[in-house]
Structure 1
Amino acid sequence: MEFTFRTDVGKVRAHNEDSGGVFKNDIGILAVVADGMGGHRAGDVASAMTTDFLRSTWENVPEISSVVEAEKWLVSQFELLNEQLYSHADEHEECRGMGTTLVVALCTEEFISIAHIGDSRAYVFNEFGFHLKTSDHSLVQELVRNGQISQEEAEHHPRRNVLLRALGTEREIKIDVTTLQVEEEQSILLCSDGLTNKITNDELKSHLEDEDKLSSKAEKLINLANERGGEDNITVALIHYTSGSDRGMKQ
């Protein structure tokens, strides 16, 4: 596996409320993208706490050898994180109302388990095409599901950033988890909405098809989002499964 992670403050925001990273151990790698919410109410604290927690727990995770174990571990980490964030906000006045979106990919040599809450996304690109593997927990996506607006209308809806679910804002949370089989020459893209609000799915696919190094692909995606306004923070994590003869982990 090859991987890279990039985050950028963008062209308008004073500071970066996105956080994340790609962390490896003997099991595989854990890719994390968290988009903090709350602005002056410490969205950056929420996303940083989330990344630090997951980095630490991944370093010390017991053996994960099955899809069931991977999905169970992801759900338990999200629940523990939610409890920590909610308690921190309750105990610190300056953090009241903080929260974060979160998308995580647990990548082994056999399978990829993806968990998320909010509107940070996970995409998969392989010989079968380019596909969004998460569904935004947002107001406009709910309107799409109910048939009230089209997907095209959702992309430009004035309330497209209104979230229905996030980490740390409620005592109880609902997490979506899915698992994919590993394919050769397969790429996983995790990103915050600072990227997807500026770049279409077709454009994302086109950049992943390029022969560039992963780091160059990530940088080009961020540069394009910035060229189109960069009103939000922009974060990209890319993981690529190479052919069998090239297997291994490198950055």
Structure 2
Amino acid sequence: MRHPVDKVYVTDTGIVREHNEDDGGIFTNEAGDYLAVVADGMGGHQAGDVASRMTVNLLRSVWEPIHQSFSVEEAEHWLKEQIRDVNRRVYEQAASDQKMAGMGTTVVAAMCMRSFTVIAHVGDSRAYQLSEYELNLITEDHSLVNELKKSGQLTEEEANDHPRKNVLMRAVGTEENVDIETASVQWQAGEGLLLCSDGLTNKLNADNIQEHLQAPGSLHERAVSLIHTAKERGGEDNITLAVILQSSLEKEVE
């Protein structure tokens, strides 16, 4: 049986770019569980939107027919295998068409079951866990700047303004094989997840994001206000976010 959630997916081109190379969505399977995905494409000749769209469509197509639940271990294995398969297909597509050479995409995906979520990611699109009081970053950016920060070569402030901030150490589709990072978190009524592209996190820090998500209004209104604020602060990149919250209504009796 489907567990009650409040969910929203919004994306915006921003105010500088001509095309939106982000993609994503929140999809329900036959078992009533949810898969949230955000992908931030890259590559010339508008190939970035091909890579992100392929990634989202392939994950959606294998998710929606599923009619059984997963354990944490099964979910981590399933999600890694699907992203490996997506990576192979995007890589092969890029190799087969000169116009798509070098295309790739980030991906952050969350399998949202009744009592836990499993997150997998490649690149610098992020997942945060939401509670009534906190917004906690679950993922770690696979970026050059983050590696330099971890090794002590950059401070947080220097990292925020670094000219090579957008250089990724990993992406889907740029190599034949990809290293995928996974995490699992327990969640309960009133808690949730935010997945987003760096078009949001380059403009708002965690405190800013939390303020918007806890503001009055519907979840859709709060998500749109995040997009609006990112655009007010420059909007140089595409901006995408998916939020999924477990209903705070009393849990159904098993």
Q: Same fold (TM over 0.5)?
A: yes
- After superposition, residues 100-119 of structure 1 pair within 5 angstroms as 100-119=105-124
Q: Which amino acid aligns with 1:72?
A: H
Offset from partner CA, 1:71-116 (integer Å, 9 cap, x none): 0010001100000000000111110000000000110111010100
What residue is the counterpart of 2:58 in the other structure?
53
User: What is the CA–CA distance in structure 2 between the aligned matches of 1:244 and 1:177, rounded to whole Å?
Assistant: 29
User: What is the CA–CA distance in structure 2 between the aligned matches of 1:126 and 1:39, rounded to whole Å?
Assistant: 39
* SS class of match (1:112): strand
Q: What is the TM-score normalised by the length of structure 1?
A: 0.95
- Asked if 1:70 corresponds to 2:75, the answer is yes
What is the aligned length? 247
- After superposition, residues 227-238 of structure 1 pair within 5 angstroms as 227-238=232-243
Q: What is the TM-score normalised by the length of structure 2?
A: 0.94
Q: Which amino acid aligns with 1:32?
A: V
In the TM superposition, residue 194 of structure 1 has moved relative to its aligned partner by 0.6
In the TM superposition, residue 147 of structure 1 has moved relative to its aligned partner by 1.4
Give me the identity figure in percent. 50
User: What is the CA–CA distance in structure 2 between the aligned matches of 1:23 and 1:87, rounded to whole Å?
Assistant: 26
- After superposition, residues 150-161 of structure 1 pair within 5 angstroms as 150-161=155-166
User: What is the CA–CA distance in structure 2 between the aligned matches of 1:209 and 1:41, rounded to whole Å?
Assistant: 36
In the TM superposition, residue 69 of structure 1 has moved relative to its aligned partner by 0.7
What residue is the counterpart of 1:2 in the other structure?
6
In the TM superposition, residue 152 of structure 1 has moved relative to its aligned partner by 2.8
Offset from partner CA, 1:154-201 (integer Å, 9 cap, x none): 122111111000000001110110000012211211000111111111
Offset from partner CA, 1:27-72 (integer Å, 9 cap, x none): 4110000000013250000001111111111112352320011000
Runs of 4+ in structure 1 deviating by more than 4 angstroms, as ranges, are none
* SS class of match (1:204): helix
What residue is the counterpart of 2:220 in the other structure?
215
Q: Which amino acid aligns with 2:85?
A: L
What residue is the counterpart of 2:136 in the other structure?
131
* Higher mean displacement: 188-197 or 19-28: 19-28
What residue is the counterpart of 1:88 in the other structure?
93
- Whether the 8 Å CA contact 1:41–1:97 is kept in 2: the answer is no
- Whether the 8 Å CA contact 1:35–1:192 is kept in 2: the answer is yes
In the TM superposition, residue 233 of structure 1 has moved relative to its aligned partner by 0.5
What residue is the counterpart of 1:11 in the other structure?
15
* Higher mean displacement: 159-168 or 54-63: 54-63
- After superposition, residues 21-40 of structure 1 pair within 5 angstroms as 21-25=25-29, 26-40=31-45
User: What is the CA–CA distance in structure 1 between the aligned matches of 2:82 and 2:142, rounded to whole Å?
Assistant: 19
- Asked if 1:182 corresponds to 2:187, the answer is yes
User: What is the CA–CA distance in structure 1 between the aligned matches of 2:48 and 2:87, rounded to whole Å?
Assistant: 14
Q: Which amino acid aligns with 1:17?
A: E
- Asked if 1:42 corresponds to 2:47, the answer is yes
Offset from partner CA, 1:111-169 (integer Å, 9 cap, x none): 01010000000011214621110000000100111111122321221111110000000
User: What is the CA–CA distance in structure 2 between the aligned matches of 1:115 and 1:244, rounded to whole Å?
Assistant: 28
Q: 1:176 to 1:160 in 2, by over 3 A?
A: same
Gaps of 5+ in 2: none
- Whether the 8 Å CA contact 1:4–1:238 is kept in 2: the answer is yes
User: What is the CA–CA distance in structure 1 between the aligned matches of 2:152 and 2:106, rounded to whole Å?
Assistant: 25
In the TM superposition, residue 9 of structure 1 has moved relative to its aligned partner by 0.7
* SS class of match (1:177): strand
